[in-house]
Structure 1
Amino acid sequence: MIKNFFKRFYLVLICVILYAPIITLMVLSFNSSKSRSKWGGFTTKWYVELFKNNSIMNALYTTLIIALLSALIATILGTAAAIGIQAMRKKMRTVVTGVTNIPMLNADIVTGISLMLLFIACRFSLGFKTILIAHITFNIPYVILSVLPKLRQTNVSTYEAALDLGASPLYAFFKVVFPDILPGVSSGFLLAFTMSLDDFIITHFTKGPGVDTLSTKIYSEVRKGINPSMYALSTLMFLVVMILLLLINMKPDEKATGAKNAKISKVASQHPKLRKFRKVMMSRVVPVCMVVLILAGGIFYGIRSKSSSDKQVIVYNWGEYIDPETLDMFEEETGINVVYEEYETNEIMYPKIQSGAIAYDVVCPSDYMIQRMIENDLLAELNFDNIPNIKNIGSTYMEHSKEFDPENKYSVPHLWGTVGILYNKTMVDDPVDSWGILWNEKYKDSILMQDSVRDAFGITLKYLGYSLNSTDLDELTEAKNKLIEQKPLVQAYVVDQARDKMIGNEAALAVIYSGEAITCQLENPDLEYVIPKEGSNMWIDSWVIPKNAKNKENAEAFINFMCRPDIAKMNFDYITYSIPNEEGRKLLDPEYRNNPIVFPDDKALENCETFKFLGDENDAIYNELWRQVKSK
């Protein structure tokens, strides 16, 4: 009795561990709130939006096309390679087999970077073709590994007998050898398909602009907060896989023993139509669907690549940093096709621009990164004759832009904001007007800090009365010690998680960006945002054009379009980050137009600074001091 109880308990525990995350994901796909910590009611809108979301649908389609094509080609090449290896002498076969196993043992990141460097050296444009080639290369060793054991089990004498009876080598192979190794070939195909479907690292390093698979799409969204439509897609994929598994396992076990299995076999044997249906599905319908999908994908990408090469602009922007509808409007009004790609941090964006591997036309870096790009001669001067709408950008923001673009020759402000303290009015009973409250022991384990070296040191330096761009080692050491002193009070160092934790009343105080504060207030009215009196970071993200851009005039037309008042308003409504467009601000609803969080007055901003690029040496010092803080 006790033994059976523990057996059942163990089984239930395993099921909970395996399926609790999936059930959580499925529940969130029906949550009307975007917050993972708040239930906003039951809804199916994310499933509706899923099929309207072109970026997710394109990512899904690209994933399936690449997985099918790469698995098919890798299976053909891998099977041929396995046959060749099997025909070698023993010593040579051992050596070659070992060589083919190395890529599987090698770290994916090494393989990905190596392939990227090879493509760049060969002057290949990174895109769909390079991903496909990379996936085929990655998958071939797995096919060889699956086919070789089956080849070793084949009877060579049977093949030779077929030849003696007059069969051609090709005919003998397909009639004698291939049926024996088919299970290995099938396993190799399925393994290659699965590896390609789930791959991220190889894809990340070999993809170009406008091409995303589900893995790269999900990765980019993790940094900015996953779109609930992705929960809906994951739920549907899980259900499809589960249904396929059930269908596959419906085949009756003819050798089964026991009354129950015998009964199942008997019932199943009475349904020959079911067996015929499964046979037709596996032998005809599934292969035909694969062929149609591959052909449709080839036509789709061929048409898209042809049309995009005629008149286009390649935009590289932060995730969720523009209203997708504005891109459609730009294409309709100008006839210029927009190839759009997202990045998560300035530090991920910069190496791509520096390497010149991809010629982006428009990029939207932050202030300090623009300064760095100017210093390294990576940006082209703008022709403002093609950007007349710059007149709509407020003089205050153009003046602040001179801190990183001294002559305003290279950049046009797109969005801006501040870093401040978001606090819960029901949990904090002290005045919140200084960074000092983040060192108040009363709020131990209820303080959220940004997991960012410049943000963490920036607010600490301002609290101590220094510049957030300080390079003085004594001042930086003092700030480091102050952060170490604060660390026992901090609940967590977070990025996007601050939003969900504050909405869910899991913390009292959080260092957060002003745009995030607006989103949080919409979900939780008990939250308030303040810029401390010591000052903070006023950041500006601006449009720039890399020096190697191939479509500079199209890029300037795009920037000019984004400076239109109505477009600026659309972007604000979608993102809720402050816009520098004064005419666009006049179009906003009064509750936002006069909101001190969105548009703080000059007094609130008088002690604020923009981040500056401090040089590689000083960056290394900051990172080392931050490492010391995090390691304590």
Structure 2
Amino acid sequence: MIKKSLQKLYLALIFIILYAPIVTLMVLSFNQSKTRSKWGGFTLKWYKELFQNEQIMSAFYTTLIIAFLSAAAATVIGTAAAIAIQGMKNRWRTLYMGVTNIPMMNAEIVMGVSLMLLFIACRMTLGFGTILIAHITFNIPYVILSVAPKLKQTNRHVYEAALDLGASPLNAFFKVVFPDIVPGVLSGFMLAFTMSLDDFVITHFTKGPGIDTLSTKIYTEVRKGIKPEIYALSTIMFVTVLVLLILINYSPEEKEETRKKRVKKPSKVKKVLFRRVIPAVICAVFVFGGFYYAQESNMMNSEKVVVYNWGEYLDPEVLTLFEQETGIDVVYEEFETNEILYPKISSGAIAYDVICPSDYMIQRMIENDLLAEINFDNIPNVKNIGKDYMEQSRQFDPENKYSVPYCWGTVGILYNKTMVDEPITSWSVLWDEKYKDNILMQDSVRDAFGVTLKYLGYSLNSTDLDELTEARDLLIKQKPLVQAYVIDQVRDKMIGNEAAIGVIYSGEAIYTQMENPDLEYVIPEEGSNIWIDSWVIPKNAENKENAEKFINFLCRPEIALMNFEYITYSTPNSEARKLIEDEAIRNSEIAFPDLSKYDNLETFQYLGTEADQTYGELWNQVKSR
């Protein structure tokens, strides 16, 4: 009795561990509030917004098309390969099966990087086509693995007898062999479809700008902070899979007498399914996929501008207005950190037309000859950018030849007045043990070390190894107190009262205060970072004039105002600031602080390859502890 109870308890715990996260996710998909920390009432609006979200729906369609096409192609190629291998002598069959198994045992990241390098070497443009080829490539071994065992079970003599009776090899194959291996073929197709549907790593390395699958889209959203629409999407996917499993595994009980009397004969349903329905579906998918690829190719040949920008750093309506006015299609992609941006630009794997790095990264790109000089004759609206900001840009772009300021701000501390004992004025609070598990730090090497170096009284551009080592040790000491290292997620966590203190950019602070009046932003007395993000044009840009039109469009006062109201980061556009209707925002000390009051604010500078490596190694030591 006790043994059975323990077994039931153990089974219940297993199911709780497996399904509690899924149930939580499903509940959140019906939560009126955007934050996970409180229940705002029942709603279906996230499902409505999911189907209205063009980016998610586009990623969903792309995922299905690639999964169907790659699975169908891999099934045909894999089945043919399995048949060929089965016809070999034992020694060669063993060798080829071993070679086939290598991709399945190999790390996905190795295959992803290898395929990316191959596509670049062949001068192929990364996009839908390269993802499809990559998925077909890694799916083929799984089909071979599914079909090969069924081929071993077939009777070769029956096939030869069909040939002796006058059947052609092709006819004999489809009449005799194929019906026996159909379960393996279908299993291979479903396995390939599932693998393609679920893949992230290989897709991440072989996709181009403007192309996303659900896996890469969800990854991007998670880096920025999960939106409720993702909860709704995940719920739909889980319920759909659950229903399919129930239908597939459901079989009505059959009486023993009926089972004995039943004569096994070919099913008409199966005949229609295998001979007509499945081929028709595969043909339709190939036709639809071809149409989809043709659309993409047509867009590749049309007037376009490829933009690489920070997550949620531009009003989507601005892109629509630009496309309507100019007839230029905008291919838009987002990144999370400067360190993610740089390798893509330096490798030349993707030709972006306009990107938005930060100050020190612009300096690095200039020094490494990665940027094209801007023709300011094509950007007359640059006159709207305040002279102070153009002058400050000279710290990283000495002659103002490569960049146009887009947003600027400071880095400071955001704290919840109801969760701290007194007003915060110093970085020292980030090492106060009474706020353990209530501190959010920026998941960025320069920001994390910049904060610590300023607290220690050093320059945030220090290259002194002793100072950097002291900062590393302090960050390691702080780590047990940190709830999480975040980027954009600090915004949602602070709004939802999930943490008391967070290191944050001033623009994010403005937004959070609008959502939660208990939050306060401060620039610590030890000083901080003042930053500028600017538009630049990579040297390998294929649509430079379109990039300059895009930058000029963003410099219009009314367009700059739209972006400011959407992202709440301070605009360097003086004319746009005059258009801000809310006087409190227009004169906000957070959005537009009086810089003359501060003499200890610094702009990040590029410190060289050796210093970058040192920072990176020390940061890895912090994160690995």
Q: Shorter chain as normaliser: what TM range? A: over 0.9
Q: State whether structure 2 residue 605 is matched by structure 1 residue 615.
A: no
Q: State whether structure 2 residue 446 is matched by structure 1 residue 454.
A: yes
Compared CA separation, residues 53 and 480, structure 1 to 2 (3 A)? same
Q: Contact 2:337 / 2:444 at 8 angstroms: preserved in 1?
A: no
| Partner in structure 1 of residue 469 of structure 2 | 477
- What is the letter of the counterpart of residue 400 of structure 1? Q
Q: Contact 2:355 / 2:535 at 8 angstroms: preserved in 1?
A: yes
Compared CA separation, residues 563 and 9, structure 1 to 2 (3 A)? same
| Partner in structure 2 of residue 332 of structure 1 | 324
> Does the residue aligned with 1:537 lie in a helix, a strand or coil?
strand
Q: State whether structure 2 residue 173 is matched by structure 1 residue 180.
A: no
TM-aligned CA deviation for residue 564 of structure 1? 1.3
Work out the CA distance in 2 between the residues paired with 1:67 and 1:439: 49
Work out the CA distance in 2 between the residues paired with 1:89 and 1:65: 38
Identity among equivalent positions (%) equals 72
Compared CA separation, residues 492 and 552, structure 1 to 2 (3 A)? closer
Q: Contact 1:37 / 1:503 at 8 angstroms: preserved in 2?
A: no
Work out the CA distance in 2 between the residues paired with 1:284 and 1:10: 48
Q: State whether structure 2 residue 104 is matched by structure 1 residue 104.
A: yes
Q: Contact 2:225 / 2:492 at 8 angstroms: preserved in 1?
A: no
Work out the CA distance in 2 between the residues paired with 1:84 and 1:516: 60
| Partner in structure 1 of residue 402 of structure 2 | 410
- What is the letter of the counterpart of residue 103 of structure 1? P
Of residues 533, 538, 550, the one that matches 1:541 is 533
Of residues 426, 431, 437, the one that matches 2:418 is 426
Work out the CA distance in 2 between the residues paired with 1:376 and 1:496: 29
TM-aligned CA deviation for residue 610 of structure 1? 1.6
Write out per-residue CA displacement over residues 489-530 of structure 1, whole angstroms, 9 at most, x where no aligned residue. Answer: 444433344334433334322212223323332333211111
Of residues 555, 558, 561, the one that matches 2:553 is 561
| Partner in structure 1 of residue 389 of structure 2 | 397
| Partner in structure 2 of residue 58 of structure 1 | 58
Correspondence 1:488-499 to 2 at 5 A:
488-499=480-491
TM-aligned CA deviation for residue 131 of structure 1? 0.8
| Partner in structure 2 of residue 85 of structure 1 | 85
TM-aligned CA deviation for residue 283 of structure 1? 7.9
Work out the CA distance in 2 between the residues paired with 1:233 and 1:445: 31
Q: Which runs of 5+ in 1 are unaligned?
A: 270-274
> Does the residue aligned with 1:42 lie in a helix, a strand or coil?
coil
| Partner in structure 2 of residue 596 of structure 1 | 589
Q: Contact 2:72 / 2:282 at 8 angstroms: preserved in 1?
A: no
Q: Which range moved further: 355-364 or 288-297?
A: 288-297
Compared CA separation, residues 338 and 31, structure 1 to 2 (3 A)? same
| Partner in structure 2 of residue 236 of structure 1 | 236
- What is the letter of the counterpart of residue 209 of structure 1? P
- What is the letter of the counterpart of residue 240 of structure 2? V
| Partner in structure 1 of residue 76 of structure 2 | 76
> Does the residue aligned with 1:408 lie in a helix, a strand or coil?
coil
Of residues 330, 333, 336, the one that matches 1:341 is 333
Work out the CA distance in 1 between the residues paired with 2:190 and 2:478: 52
TM-aligned CA deviation for residue 488 of structure 1? 4.6
Compared CA separation, residues 522 and 39, structure 1 to 2 (3 A)? farther
Compared CA separation, residues 289 and 396, structure 1 to 2 (3 A)? farther
TM-aligned CA deviation for residue 587 of structure 1? 2.5
Between Structure 1 and Structure 2, how many residues are aligned?
A: 618
Q: Contact 1:38 / 1:503 at 8 angstroms: preserved in 2?
A: no
Work out the CA distance in 2 between the residues paired with 1:193 and 1:118: 24
| Partner in structure 2 of residue 272 of structure 1 | none
Compared CA separation, residues 204 and 150, structure 1 to 2 (3 A)? same
| Partner in structure 1 of residue 121 of structure 2 | 121
Work out the CA distance in 1 between the residues paired with 2:399 and 2:36: 44
Write out per-residue CA displacement over residues 241-278 of structure 1, whole angstroms, 9 at most, x where no aligned residue. Answer: 22222222333243779xxxx9xx9xxx9xxxxx9999
Of residues 511, 515, 523, the one that matches 1:519 is 511
- What is the letter of the counterpart of residue 333 of structure 2? E
TM-aligned CA deviation for residue 631 of structure 1? 4.9
Work out the CA distance in 2 between the residues paired with 1:169 and 1:286: 22
Work out the CA distance in 2 between the residues paired with 1:629 and 1:426: 30
Correspondence 1:189-338 to 2 at 5 A:
189-254=189-254, 288=280, 291-338=283-330
Work out the CA distance in 2 between the residues paired with 1:8 and 1:256: 32
TM-aligned CA deviation for residue 229 of structure 1? 1.6
Work out the CA distance in 2 between the residues paired with 1:241 and 1:480: 47
Compared CA separation, residues 188 and 387, structure 1 to 2 (3 A)? same
Work out the CA distance in 2 between the residues paired with 1:526 and 1:287: 62
| Partner in structure 2 of residue 15 of structure 1 | 15
Q: Contact 2:441 / 2:485 at 8 angstroms: preserved in 1?
A: yes
Of residues 380, 388, 392, the one that matches 1:388 is 380
> Does the residue aligned with 2:413 lie in a helix, a strand or coil?
strand
Q: CA RMSD in A?
A: 2.4
Q: Which range moved further: 142-151 or 426-435?
A: 426-435
Correspondence 1:25-36 to 2 at 5 A:
25-36=25-36
Q: Which range moved further: 362-371 or 563-572?
A: 563-572
Q: Contact 1:127 / 1:211 at 8 angstroms: preserved in 2?
A: yes
Work out the CA distance in 1 between the residues paired with 2:386 and 2:256: 79
Compared CA separation, residues 333 and 492, structure 1 to 2 (3 A)? closer
Q: State whether structure 2 residue 11 is matched by structure 1 residue 5.
A: no
Work out the CA distance in 2 between the residues paired with 1:278 and 1:330: 53
Q: Contact 1:73 / 1:136 at 8 angstroms: preserved in 2?
A: yes
Q: Contact 2:223 / 2:489 at 8 angstroms: preserved in 1?
A: no
Compared CA separation, residues 204 and 628, structure 1 to 2 (3 A)? closer
Q: Which runs of 5+ in 2 are unaligned?
A: none
| Partner in structure 1 of residue 523 of structure 2 | 531
Work out the CA distance in 2 between the residues paired with 1:301 and 1:604: 56
Q: State whether structure 2 residue 41 is matched by structure 1 residue 41.
A: yes
Q: Contact 1:308 / 1:337 at 8 angstroms: preserved in 2?
A: no
Q: Contact 2:37 / 2:497 at 8 angstroms: preserved in 1?
A: no
Write out per-residue CA displacement over residues 473-498 of structure 1, whole angstroms, 9 at most, x where no aligned residue. Answer: 23223333433444454444333443
Work out the CA distance in 2 between the residues paired with 1:586 and 1:424: 31
User: TM-score w.r.t. structure 1 length?
Assistant: 0.92
Work out the CA distance in 2 between the residues paired with 1:297 and 1:558: 31
| Partner in structure 1 of residue 577 of structure 2 | 585
TM-aligned CA deviation for residue 570 of structure 1? 1.7
Write out per-residue CA displacement over residues 428-453 of structure 1, whole angstroms, 9 at most, x where no aligned residue. Answer: 22331121222334434433322322
Of residues 424, 430, 433, the one that matches 1:438 is 430
Work out the CA distance in 1 between the residues paired with 2:531 and 2:180: 65
Compared CA separation, residues 156 and 419, structure 1 to 2 (3 A)? same
Compared CA separation, residues 223 and 167, structure 1 to 2 (3 A)? same
Q: Contact 2:86 / 2:93 at 8 angstroms: preserved in 1?
A: yes
Write out per-residue CA displacement over residues 21-78 of structure 1, whole angstroms, 9 at most, x where no aligned residue. Answer: 2222222222233323333333222222222221111111111111101100110000
Compared CA separation, residues 519 and 14, structure 1 to 2 (3 A)? farther
> Does the residue aligned with 2:188 lie in a helix, a strand or coil?
helix
Work out the CA distance in 1 between the residues paired with 2:91 and 2:415: 70
Write out per-residue CA displacement over residues 350-407 of structure 1, whole angstroms, 9 at most, x where no aligned residue. Answer: 1221122221111111111111110010100001111111112122222221111111
TM-aligned CA deviation for residue 290 of structure 1? 5.4
Work out the CA distance in 1 between the residues paired with 2:433 and 2:8: 47
> Does the residue aligned with 1:91 lie in a helix, a strand or coil?
helix
> Does the residue aligned with 1:236 lie in a helix, a strand or coil?
helix
TM-aligned CA deviation for residue 106 of structure 1? 0.6
Work out the CA distance in 1 between the residues paired with 2:489 and 2:567: 17
Write out per-residue CA displacement over residues 206-256 of structure 1, whole angstroms, 9 at most, x where no aligned residue. Answer: 111111111111111111112322222221222222222222233324377
> Does the residue aligned with 1:341 lie in a helix, a strand or coil?
strand
Compared CA separation, residues 496 and 293, structure 1 to 2 (3 A)? same
